[in-house]
């Protein structure tokens, strides 16, 4: 845990909320070009997802209307024209066999992908930080018990269990919320372990000892003294979890246990598009490149954020 | 039967060669020599399949086929068989072991068959009518489950018969001499010759019958005998020296050897057939159709297009109503949905006009079934939402919300793709459709158990033989409503007049006379909007570049392995 040690030696850690520290982080981030590119692309994608109704209205399409006249019915229902029927009416072409607009479906798919990724993150952070804090701060027995629980969470065969769980929950349960819960419930172990490590190292520091001696309650010490010190590391880690969550959602949708029709998500689109990759490459490229771009941008941003928060521990070792 | 139909679909979807489409005659594909039945013998034919065509057990008592099946019919000859010709003529019955397709008497309650001369088993012993009787009787044995359900229902005493292994005979099968066999049925069944194509009518020598062990080496009466058989993996057939074309006019049996491989994925099979490299040039498939995406790719390649054949198996995909569930008890709601449906979208959802034709009749669009075109609720190719809205307003149900049940995958064309197309079409008529997906196993039981049956759902139906009876009776005969499961009368429709018409037509043993009656009955039933027919599937299949005389028979929509050649 060299990162943790580095953090402990960093005098800024205990006062991470200070404006000076924030300015320093921002300055470091701004000079990190890949991270800035990631930030811009992420911003554009999130904005596009938020504005999906507006953008599809601008295009004049929606996600569910069939356009069978645009399909070559005799050829398996493949879109007529080059690039999967892309043009002024359908900016990214249409879906084979239905003629639904791909731009609209990809945009609304982005909403699901982002919502699930962020929602999952909230679940992961709540669970992970709570368990990590309790394990690190709660004494020997709590640590031993919760520590094994964390081990269990990390070593759990997540994919199999997630598929089973998604298959048995009634269909009336809102699917994106279910996806957040399922992915979140199986992926909080890392956050918990990191939080615990941070708490353990901060616990013995002088300012915590001072608070204890001045009569602060354990709850107050945990939440007001230790948690703020641990958060920068945890949040940095969280930023890296985000692209992972998107991939998890896509994976589950790809396996057919994601969103229900007629809703779209990138994973669902990829899943139906795979058989078409030779006949209609556009159908695969739209969700595939969207997912690639988003995951890459998030990863660059998260990596840059980590470097900016903690230059000494940066794995990339820049400047 | 629907369960069996899905087996049939895999085992039975075949091809009508591109050439067969234009000329109707057998197609020849290889450059150079044309197909000649006189000089087609030799070589090894390879079969690339997803599942074993023998229904897991290569025992004629247990195999469930239509018309004798593709591979089983190479080893097991039957009293009658499907006529081995392309086109609609292939939906008729031809004599196989028998001299004719059967002589009915007593209102088609008694059927008499005479065996032709010179028939021998693979070991040279002559085939007698007692061997056929034994074959039918052993299919009743509880230790040999599976096979067609009709014999138990039709033969006098069949319901209580437990097979011949304890020395008990079935008296309703009589063998007055070695060449004659007589079947006594408890009710008129004009379609008996169609059922006599099933492998249960294969002769089995009593001396060689080891019960459940018989499938390890079933005694061949056909052109090939089993050399090796590895369950669900491979099957190798070699020539039966005691068979000749002189005693069989329904099988050309061109290849010297046939090697089948099972357990391949559909994509792999179609990729191997389209590449056609090495041994795959001599290969066909008996269970794998082209997917929409594969069709889209192949249609731009003239060489592959040439090696594609088109076939039909009488099948209808439809929306089923449970008329015991509100609001589907109201005929106006059912009519409204019939008007609102967009058949063009449904056809495109399963791969477009090359893979399905829109259906307005419940009977498949083939003469054999008695097809008579009708459209009880004419709404054009894309539906008439205005008319649907009007009917719903009359019913006092504007802004209706319904839950459409469907399978969770599209393999049987009753999955999310078609459900979404229906959902979108009904939206135009102001109907909100919620979708409810069932997994593979629970979908069948939910549909066929009236107490669990959804109000409206996607279904499909194919018959075990190509006439109107097996296509209509299970769905619309009120006496076939089965409360405990296995029910296919989805509407739970019971009209004594319709039931009487089923009985009346079953007495007719001439298919040509029965056809117009089935067609008229279908039109009559169609007006009641008990189902919404959506489309009839079409099957496209590839074959290796050296394979000749490839056509998909219209009985099963599948390659007839007994007719293809690799030379």
Helix axes A175-186 and A227-254, enclosed angle (nearest 10)? 120
Structure tokens at A198: 């941070």
* Contact: B351, A77; criterion CB under 8 Å: yes
B378 DSSP 8-state letter: -
* Contact: A262, B344; criterion CB under 8 Å: no
Closest CA to A106 of A85, A89, A90: A90
Contact B544, B281 (CB under 8 A): yes
* Contact: B348, A97; criterion CB under 8 Å: yes
Task: Supply the pLDDT for residue B55.
Answer: 57
- Which position has the higher pLDDT, A21 or A201? A201
Cross-strand partners of A139: none
Nearest to B297 among A66, A167, A279 (CB): A279
> Which residue, among A71, A73, A76, A104, would best test binding to B if mutated, counting the most B CBs under 10 Å from its CB?
A76
What tens digit of pLDDT does each residue of B225-284 get?
999 998 889 999 999 999 999 999 999 999 999 999 999 999 999 999 999 999 999 999
CA-CA distance, B2 to A304, in Å (whole number)?
59
Q: What are phi and psi of B259, to 5 degrees?
A: -120, 115
**H-type alpha helices, B429-510:** 440-448, 468-476, 496-506
Structure tokens at B431: 């109907």
Residue A142, Ramachandran bin (φ over 0: left; ψ between -120 and 50: alpha; else beta): alpha
Q: E strand or H helix at B248, and its extent? A: none
What tens digit of pLDDT does each residue of A52-88 get?
999 999 999 999 999 989 999 999 999 998 888 888 8
Residues of A in contact with B439 (CB under 8 A): 167
Task: Supply the pLDDT for residue B471.
Answer: 95
Contact B321, B530 (CB under 8 A): yes
CA-CA distance, A271 to B564, in Å (whole number)?
37
Task: Supply the pLDDT for residue B19.
Answer: 32
Q: What are phi and psi of B493, to 5 degrees?
A: -95, 125
What are B's interface residues with A at a Cβ cutoff of 8 A? 267, 291-297, 299-300, 342, 344-345, 347-355, 382, 408-409, 416-417, 419-421, 423-424, 427, 435-437, 439
Contact B43, B566 (CB under 8 A): yes
Structure tokens at A44: 């554009």
CA-CA distance, B253 to B119, in Å (whole number)?
16
What tens digit of pLDDT does each residue of A214-256 get?
888 888 888 888 888 888 888 888 888 999 999 999 999 888 8
Q: E strand or H helix at B148, and its extent? A: none
pLDDT < 50: residue spans in chain B = 1-31
Q: Which burial class, exposed, middle or buried, applies to B33 when counting CB atoms under 10 A from its CB (0-12, 13-18, 19+)?
A: exposed
**H-type alpha helices, chain A:** 2-9, 19-30, 33-50, 52-59, 102-137, 140-155, 158-168, 175-186, 189-203, 206-213, 218-220, 227-254, 266-273, 281-309
- Cβ neighbours for B437, distance < 8 A, ≥ 6 positions apart: A171, A260, B405, B406, B407, B408, B415, B416
- Cβ neighbours for A53, distance < 8 A, ≥ 6 positions apart: none
> Per the omega criterion (within 30 degrees of 0), is the bond before A262 cis?
yes
Structure tokens at A43: 């911003």
Residues of B in contact with A262 (CB under 8 A): 420, 423-424
In this prediction the ipTM stands at 0.79
Sign, CA torsion B55/B60/B64/B67: positive
Nearest to B349 among A65, A98, A276 (CB): A98
Residues of B in contact with A72 (CB under 8 A): 296, 352
Q: E strand or H helix at A262, and its extent? A: none
Closest CA to B1 of B153, B113, B124: B153
CB atoms within 10 A of CB A241: 24
Helix axes A52-59 and A102-137, enclosed angle (nearest 10)? 170
Residues of A in contact with B416 (CB under 8 A): 261
pTM (predicted TM-score): 0.86
Strand, helix or coil at B140? coil
Task: Supply the pLDDT for residue A160.
Answer: 87
What tens digit of pLDDT does each residue of A139-156 get?
889 999 999 999 998 888
* Contact: B299, A75; criterion CB under 8 Å: yes
Task: Supply the pLDDT for residue A72.
Answer: 92
Tokens 């988003």 belong to residue = A294
- Which position has the higher pLDDT, B389 or A165? B389
- Cβ neighbours for B516, distance < 8 A, ≥ 6 positions apart: B370, B372
pLDDT-based confidence at A312, cuts 50/70/90?
low
* Contact: B293, A99; criterion CB under 8 Å: no
């Amino acid at each position: 845990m060299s990162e943790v040690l580095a953090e402990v030696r960093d005098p800024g850690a205990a006062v991470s909320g200070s404006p000076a520290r924030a300015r320093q982080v921002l300055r470091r981030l701004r000079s990190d070009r890949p991270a800035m590119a990631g930030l811009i692309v992420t911003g554009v994608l999130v904005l596009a997802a938020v504005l999906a109704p507006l953008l599809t209205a601008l295009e004049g399409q929606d996600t569910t209307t069939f356009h069978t006249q645009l399909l070559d019915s005799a050829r398996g229902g493949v879109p007529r024209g080059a690039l999967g029927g892309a043009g002024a009416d359908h900016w990214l072409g249409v879906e084979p066999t239905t003629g639904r607009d791909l731009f609209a479906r990809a945009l609304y798919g982005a909403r699901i992908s982002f919502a699930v990724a962020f929602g999952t993150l909230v679940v992961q952070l709540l669970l992970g930080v709570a368990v990590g804090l309790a394990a690190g701060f709660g004494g020997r027995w709590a640590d031993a018990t919760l520590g094994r629980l964390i081990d269990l969470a990390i070593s759990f065969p997540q994919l199999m269990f997630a598929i089973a769980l998604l298959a048995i929950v009634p269909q009336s349960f809102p699917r994106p919320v279910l996806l957040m819960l399922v992915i979140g419930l199986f992926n909080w172990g890392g956050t918990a372990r990191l939080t615990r490590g941070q708490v353990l190292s901060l616990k013995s520091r002088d300012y915590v000892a001072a608070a204890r001696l001045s009569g602060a309650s354990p709850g107050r010490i945990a939440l007001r003294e230790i948690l703020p010190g641990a958060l920068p590391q945890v949040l940095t880690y969280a930023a890296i979890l985000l692209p992972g969550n998107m991939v998890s959602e896509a994976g589950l949708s790809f396996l057919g246990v994601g969103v229900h029709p007629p809703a779209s998500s990138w994973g669902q689109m990829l899943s139906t598009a795979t058989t078409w990759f030779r006949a209609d490459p556009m159908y695969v490229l739209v969700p595939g490149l969207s997912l690639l771009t988003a995951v890459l941008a998030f990863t660059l941003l998260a990596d840059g954020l980590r470097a900016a928060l903690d230059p000494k521990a940066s794995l990339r070792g820049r400047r | 039967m629907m369960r069996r139909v899905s087996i049939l679909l895999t085992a039975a979807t075949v091809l009508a060669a591109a050439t067969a489409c234009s000329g109707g005659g057998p197609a020849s594909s290889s450059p150079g020599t044309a197909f000649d039945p006189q000089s087609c013998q030799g070589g090894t034919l390879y079969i690339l399949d997803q599942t074993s065509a023998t229904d897991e057990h290569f025992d004629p008592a247990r195999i469930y086929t239509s018309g004798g099946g593709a591979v089983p019919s190479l080893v097991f000859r039957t009293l009658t068989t499907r006529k081995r010709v392309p086109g609609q003529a292939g939906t008729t019955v031809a004599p196989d072991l028998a001299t004719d397709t059967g002589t009915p008497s007593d209102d088609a309650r008694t059927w008499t068959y005479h065996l032709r001369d010179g028939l021998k088993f693979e070991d040279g012993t002559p085939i007698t009518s007692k061997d056929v009787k034994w074959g039918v009787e052993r299919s009743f044995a509880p230790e040999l489950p599976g096979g067609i359900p009709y014999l138990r229902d039709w033969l006098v005493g069949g319901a209580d018969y437990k097979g011949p292994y304890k020395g008990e005979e079935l008296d309703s099968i009589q063998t007055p001499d070695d060449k004659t066999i007589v079947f006594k049925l408890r009710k008129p069944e004009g379609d008996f010759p169609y059922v006599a194509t099933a492998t249960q009518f294969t002769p089995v020598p009593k001396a060689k019958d080891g019960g459940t062990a018989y499938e390890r080496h079933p005694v061949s009466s056909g052109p090939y005998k089993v050399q090796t058989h590895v369950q669900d993996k491979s099957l190798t057939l070699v020539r039966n020296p005691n068979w000749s074309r002189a005693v069989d006019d329904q099988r050309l049996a061109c290849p010297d050897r046939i090697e089948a491989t099972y357990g391949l994925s559909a994509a792999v099979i179609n990729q191997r057939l389209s590449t056609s490299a090495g041994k795959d040039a001599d290969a066909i498939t008996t269970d794998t159709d082209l997917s929409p995406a594969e069709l889209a790719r192949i249609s731009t390649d003239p060489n592959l297009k040439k090696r594609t054949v088109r076939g039909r198996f009488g099948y209808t995909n439809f929306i089923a109503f449970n008329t015991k569930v509100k609001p589907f008890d109201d005929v106006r709601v059912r009519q409204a949905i019939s008007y609102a449906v967009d058949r063009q979208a449904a056809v495109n959802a399963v791969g477009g006009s090359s893979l399905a034709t829109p259906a307005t009749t419940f009977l498949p669009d083939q003469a054999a079934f008695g097809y008579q075109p009708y459209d009880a609720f004419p709404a054009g190719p894309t539906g008439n939402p205005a008319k649907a809205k009007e009917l719903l307003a009359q019913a006092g149900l504007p802004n209706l919300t319904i839950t459409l049940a469907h399978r969770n995958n599209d393999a049987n064309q009753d999955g999310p793709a078609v459900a979404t197309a229906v959902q979108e079409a009904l939206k135009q008529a102001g109907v909100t459709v919620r979708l409810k997906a069932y997994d593979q196993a629970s979908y069948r039981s939910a549909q066929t158990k009236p107490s669990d049956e959804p109000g409206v759902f996607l279904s499909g139906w194919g018959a075990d033989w190509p006439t109107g009876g097996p296509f209509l009776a299970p769905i619309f005969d009120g006496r076939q409503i089965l409360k405990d499961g296995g029910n296919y009368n989805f509407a739970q429709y019971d009209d004594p007049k319709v039931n009487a018409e089923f009985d009346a037509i079953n007495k007719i043993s001439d298919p040509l006379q029965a056809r117009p009656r089935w067609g008229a009955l279908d039109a009559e039933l169609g007006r009641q909007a008990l189902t919404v027919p959506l489309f009839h599937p079409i099957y496209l299949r590839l074959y290796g570049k050296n394979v000749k005389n490839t056509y998909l028979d219209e009985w099963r929509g599948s390659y007839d392995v007994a007719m293809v050649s690799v030379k």
